[in-house]
Each structure stands twice: as structure tokens, then as C-alpha cells.
Amino acid sequence: MQEYINKYLVHIEHDKNFSLQTLRAYRNDLNQYLSFLKTEGCCDLKDVNRLLLRKFLAFQKKHAYTKTTIARKFVTIRSLYKFLCREGILEFSPVENIRTPKLGKKLPKFMSINEVEAILKTPDTNTLSGLRDSAIMETLYSTGIRVSELVGLNITNVNFQNDVIKVRGKGKKERLQPIGKHALNAIQLYLDKRNTETESHILTKNNNALFLNNRGGRLSVRSVARMIEKYIKKAGMNLKISPHVFRHSFATHLLDRGADLRSVQELLGHANLSTTQIYTHITTEKLKQVYDRTHPRA
């Protein structure tokens, strides 16, 4: 069984170009599934039936996994069986008719424009780290890119003349993303100070990375999240804001100001329009609130 799983993991890494984060999640899900099957005395994926899969579903519910987590694990398992069927290893997938928990629609959290402006003013731009942090948050809000895409940016990915950045997104797909003047100016100020204040041996360590940590290495996703948490507290905002909330705010504010859904889909790098449509629920909720507050017979 492990051989089949390893073959599948190689396939999604090299043929599907899954990110390292997604690969890690799939590997963990499949290892848990494999461990469960062995506990149940099943030593061959060909012997798995619907009853055993329902037991796996019950096992996860018993361990208090959320509906979202259970659904994700079954997406992983379903994908594995589809691959094995395509490869001719299995004749049919036992997962096809298994119903996973129905997920409620959870609206993305986003900041108001005033909240965004408050946090963007927080960094001390007299320091190198403050200029870097300012540039990071301006870029997140200006482009709506994922934090994983942000930390992967190189200096050569920023086109100051044409106001675009080259982003490597999910599946290692590249796209050109518009970026505003505020963000470009913040990036330029950061790079200017970095070039004059950073010791040369530190710069040569990773000189092409756009955003560096204090040791001269490329920033991690977690370090960006910690940085934003710091500024949220500094701004006195009683909010729990992750880097992804900048992305949600970017999309919501565009739609609020009249952007069409297709354009926002392209800007977010979504493969399917249905993924972007969740943001229309936010704007609809806002309209309902305005209606309830202002209509005389609401």
C-alpha cells in the first residue's frame, strides 16, 4: 500500500506541481488513512470497501475532527483512488458514493478600509525592518497575493516601469499581477535602505529574494504572520488578522467599488469562478444590512 501512495505523491509533486504545503497535507492525510487500514487488518488498497470507508469516517468524527478537515481528507483519498484507477491498479474507486459531511458556507473575514489604513501606518519607517514590514503589508493589500506567493518573490519579479509583479502561484503557475504605486514606493524605499545599510556578506546570502529576514535569508510564511500579529496589537485593534485576511480585504473592497467578478477571479489567481463567488456573499450581506437600516418598511 505504501508503494502506491508513494507513487501517487510523486505524481502530484511532479505532474500536478502541487505546492510543498499541499504535498505535506496530502502526505499526512494518506499516512493516517494507511495507519487506520492497518489497524483494521486491511493490507491491500484493493480490499477497501464502502463499509471500511464509513468506519474511517466514523473514526474521524469520534476524534472530533471538524467537517472541513474530514471533507479535505476524503478529497485526498478520492484523488488517490482516481489516480490508481487511471493507472490500471484498481478497477473502480470505493470512495465515489461516500458522502462527506455537508459544509456550511463560512464567509471570509476581512478588514474595513479604515482598519487597513490604520495597520498600514503602524510600522516605523525610519528603520530597515519597519520599511520592510510596510512594504510587505502594502504589497499584500495592493495585490491580494497569497502569503506563500509573497515570500517567494524575487527582486527581478517586480517591474517598476509597468506596475506589475510576476507571481508564482498554486501549481507553480506564473501570472502577472498589477501592483499600486503605494506598494511600489514602499518596496523601493525598503530596497534603497537595504542596499545601503545591510552588510554585503548578508546580502549575497540570498540577494535575489525581495523580502529578507534579519539574518539575510528569505522570510517564511510564519514570520510574516507573526509580524502582522505584532502590528495589529500595536495599532490597538482587537482583531485576529492573518496574512490571508489582506487577500480577503483586497477582493471585498474591489467588489464593493464595482469590480466585476471575472476580473477579481483573475487578480486572485483562482482557477474556478465558484471560488471567487464567496466574496459576493459578503457584499450581499452588506447590502442587506444597509437595506434593513434604511428602508422604512424593512
Kindly report, residue by residue over 137-191, the tens digit of the pLDDT. Answer: 999 999 999 999 999 999 999 999 999 999 988 777 888 999 999 999 999 999 9
Q: Establish whether 295 is a catalytic residue.
A: no
Q: Establish whether 14 is a catalytic residue.
A: no
Q: Establish whether 201 is a catalytic residue.
A: no
Instruction: Please pick, among 270, 286, 288, 295, the residue that the annotation labels catalytic.
Output: 270
Task: For the chain, list the domains and their CATH numbers.
Answer: 2-86 (1.10.150.130), 113-291 (1.10.443.10)
Examine the pLDDT at 266 and tell me if it is beyond 90.
no
Q: Establish whether 270 is a catalytic residue.
A: yes
- Mean pLDDT, the chain, as a whole number? 86
pLDDT tens for each residue of 43-93:
888 888 888 888 998 888 888 888 888 888 888 999 999 998 999 888 888
Instruction: Please pick, among 82, 109, 175, 244, the residue that the annotation labels catalytic.
Output: 244
Instruction: Please pick, among 73, 146, 194, 253, the residue that the annotation labels catalytic.
Output: 146
Q: Establish whether 279 is a catalytic residue.
A: yes
CA distance 126 to 193: 10
Contact between 13 and 172 (Cβ < 8 Å): no
Instruction: Please pick, among 73, 247, 248, 253, the residue that the annotation labels catalytic.
Output: 247
For residue 106 the three cell numbers come to 463560512
Q: Establish whether 146 is a catalytic residue.
A: yes
Question: What is the value of pTM for the model shown?
Answer: 0.68
Instruction: Please pick, among 170, 175, 182, 218, the residue that the annotation labels catalytic.
Output: 170
CA distance 235 to 214: 23
